[in-house]
Chain A
Amino acid sequence: MRRILYGPVFSVLFTLVILAAVVTPLRAHAVLMDSKPGRNSTVKGPDIPIWLRFNVRVDGRRSRLQLIAPDGSTIPVEAPRQTAPDILESHIGGLKPGAYRLQWHALASDGHMSSGEVDFTVN
């Protein structure tokens, strides 16, 4: 025991101890910088184009959008397209007036998955 602690093997063991003990904060990595519809905005329905701009490049093929309707049901949104590496675009049609929540899950190019929401109202 004494030899192990006093010896250089200790440094490797200590690495493992810290790694096992450390609690690292996990925050959203891809940050939504701008969107259409905007946060808490009111838009004219029933057809709504969706445009999301992030702070980083995102992987459109591995990102997902969905809409929560005023009654709480989930409306599928067609797979996002990319006109630029940091942009996700899509389209939703046939929306009735009410408060909606757009949920996004985006895979940043550096491998971090992030999620977020945009609340908006259709009139």
Chain B
Amino acid sequence: MLKLVDIFGYLSVLLSAGTLVGQSLLLGGALFIFWVARPGPELPAGSLEAVRSGSWRLFRAAAIGLAIVQVLYLYVNSAVLMASAEIGFREAMGANFFLAGSLILVAALVASVLRFQGRYAAGFAAVLVLVVLGASVMTDHAASRVEGRIPLIILTALHEASTGFWIGGLPFLLLGLHVGNERTAQWYLTRRFSRLALVSVVVLVASGFGMSLSYVGSLRSLVGTSYGLMLMAKVAMLLAMLALGGINFLMLRRYGPEKVIPRLRRLVEAEVGIGITIVLSAASMTAQPPAVDLPNDTVQLSHIAARFKPEWPRLRSPNAAELSTRYPGRPISKLDPTRQTVAYSSEGMPLSIRVMNDMKWSEYNHHWMGLIVLAMGFLALLARTGRAGWAEYWPLLMIGIAVFIFLRGDPECWPLGPKSFWATWAAPEIFQHRAAALVCVAFAIFELRVRRSPSQEGVLPLIFPLLCAVGAALLLTHSHAISNVREETMAELSHTPMATVGVVAGWSRWLELRLPREDRSLPAWIWPVCFVLIGAGLLNYREL
């Protein structure tokens, strides 16, 4: 039952992320349709018809998606509650989340089936999206605070609304630019959306700052808790989005439609990708207690400085037999001296000889990976100069990563451990590692073909930046199964910055491929530098 609760608890967080994405699309979509894409006197009659009908289709699709997510959310959360508190479904129906989820479900269903026509269409749509927003805020941190609840609820509502209007509106703008083929209509949409985005960003930043003061409270909490780290990652990604938005803003005011629109479409694609990653990070934050509530589980700044003081990488590994992994048929007695606690980590985690060997094993893995990624970054930079054609073969280094994962990922398996090669494919974790190794090999060959091809147009080159961006999002929100909260924060202190840089790497490579040729120079330099930074981060990874 506990396992079921764990799995359902995890699903419930995933569904919260779906709710945030869905509500953002509804908020952004409603404002886009009724304000941004509202026909103006300067436009020829009917020039926005295709944009509006396309936007309605996307709005309805988002509403259907949100309704499906809510049905699952209600089911999963009720199951968790009924199993944990041992209560019946009738009792679970009275819970706050059930009421909020039901409200969102009804509003989403109405939004998905109703034809918004006539004089009051905009007002009715506004009521529906406000119901969704209000119900969503009911299940946010603000609703459960003991002190300062009302101001926090107002700030949260403003924050989520401005997120929706801006980030949720971007896919509608992208659709509008794609469907509305006339330059006049595209120019009209872009300029109106730019004004909306400007106001939204101001509200988003101001409300976010206010909430941070209450939920984080101090520099120590900002750096020393998972919540604070995720907040910093969110801010970094927001800055990347603002940089793209700033370029759009300046272009719109300096150049004409013919020059701006082709570039703007590509920049908005990257903005959508980074924006979605930000919304996912926000969902991840709602699943964690605010930093201010963890005074005893906040890592000391001095401990962080000591752990991350640059040191020579660990290039010698302990033997596989010295790890804490217990092989079948080779149990390690509890009385074995190598299993006794001989020290404590700076965060109070008990350490035995075998646990320390596990950590050294992991550091060795991270450091060798760091060397490979660093080499990939430097070679990509070298290739970028155009003076070293051989450096274009850098994707082959990914085969090195694959070999490393295969050999070191599962020390209990062949060739290092006693488990046979074929006997271990059924274990999910081992299967994942081997699948990752195979993907690396396939990816190396595939990306090399892309690089050696004279034209980098088409769909295939986009796979690399997409996988990079998705992988970084995974790393950003993935869980480290460490029972010690402060040690978990320590692990995230190294992974979160690398993931954030990974997001930038993925979307800068995307822009290099998608922007007009004359504008590719800057993004083409950014992603190799990101690789170098990730390599350096891996080289300085520490567990001890």
Contact (A63, B85) CB under 8 Å given A23-B478, A25-B226, A57-B144: yes
Say yes or no: is B459 at the interface (Cβ < 8 Å to chain A): yes
Cβ B81 vs Cβ A8 within 8 A: no
Q: How many B residues face the partner with a CB closer than 8 A? A: 69
Per-position contact with B for A1-25: 1 when CB-CB < 8 Å, else 0? 1100111111110110111011111
Whether, in the assembled complex, A96 has its beta carbon less than 8 Å from a beta carbon of chain B, the answer is no
Q: Which residues of A contact B80 (CB under 8 A)?
A: 113
Complex: chain A residue closest to B227, CB-CB = A27
- Asked if B277 and A18 sit within 8 Å, CB to CB, the answer is yes
Determine if B403 is an interface residue (Cβ-Cβ < 8 Å): no
B84: chain A residues at CB < 8 Å are 64, 105, 107, 113, 115
Give the distance to chain B from A13, nearest Cβ to Cβ, in Å.
10
Enumerate B245-293 residues with CB–CB distance to A below 8 Å: 269, 272-273, 276-277, 280, 283-284, 286-290, 293
From B91, B272, B479, contact of A24 by CB (8 A): B479
Q: Which residues of B contact A89 (CB under 8 A)?
A: none
**Interface residues in A64-123 (C-beta closer than 8 Å to B):** 64, 85-86, 105, 107-113, 115
B91 close to A61 (CB less than 8 A):
yes
> How far does the Cβ of A19 sit from chain B's closest Cβ, in whole Å?
6
State in angstroms the CA–CA spacing of A23 and B85 once bound together: 26
Q: Interface size for chain A: under 10, 10 to 19, 20 to 34, or 35 or more residues?
A: 35 or more
Question: How far is the CB of B526 from the nearest CB of chain A, in Å?
Answer: 20
Whether B226 pairs with A107 at a CB distance below 8 angstroms is no
Residues of B276-325 at the interface with A, using a CB-CB cut-off of 8 Å, are 276-277, 280, 283-284, 286-290, 293-294
Residue in A1, A15, A24, A63 whose beta carbon sits within 8 Å of that of B477 in the complex:
A24
Within 8 A of B (CB), among A25-40: 25-31, 33
Contact residues in A for B146 (Cβ distance below 8 Å): 55-57, 85-86
Q: B104 → chain A, closest Cβ, in Å? A: 12
Asked if B174 lies at the interface with its beta carbon under 8 angstroms from chain A, I say yes
Residue of A whose beta carbon sits closest to that of B459: A5
Which residues in B have their C-beta under 8 angstroms from that of A27? 226, 287-289, 485
Q: A21: which B residues are within 8 A, CB to CB? A: 470, 473-474
Please give, as numbers and ranges, the residues of chain A lying within 8 Å of B479 by CB-CB distance: 23-26
Nearest 10 Cβ contacts at the A-B interface: A111-B97, A25-B479, A55-B293, A56-B144, A109-B144, A8-B174, A8-B175, A110-B144, A105-B84, A11-B272
The chain B residues found within 8 Å of chain A, CB to CB, are: 5-6, 9-10, 12-14, 17-18, 21, 58, 61-62, 77, 80-81, 84-87, 91-92, 94-97, 100, 138-141, 143-146, 170-171, 174-175, 177-178, 226, 269, 272-273, 276-277, 280, 283-284, 286-290, 293-294, 458-459, 462, 466, 470, 473-474, 477-480, 485
User: What are 10 A-B pairs at a CB distance below 8 A?
Assistant: A8-B175, A12-B171, A14-B276, A22-B17, A24-B13, A24-B284, A26-B13, A31-B289, A62-B87, A109-B96
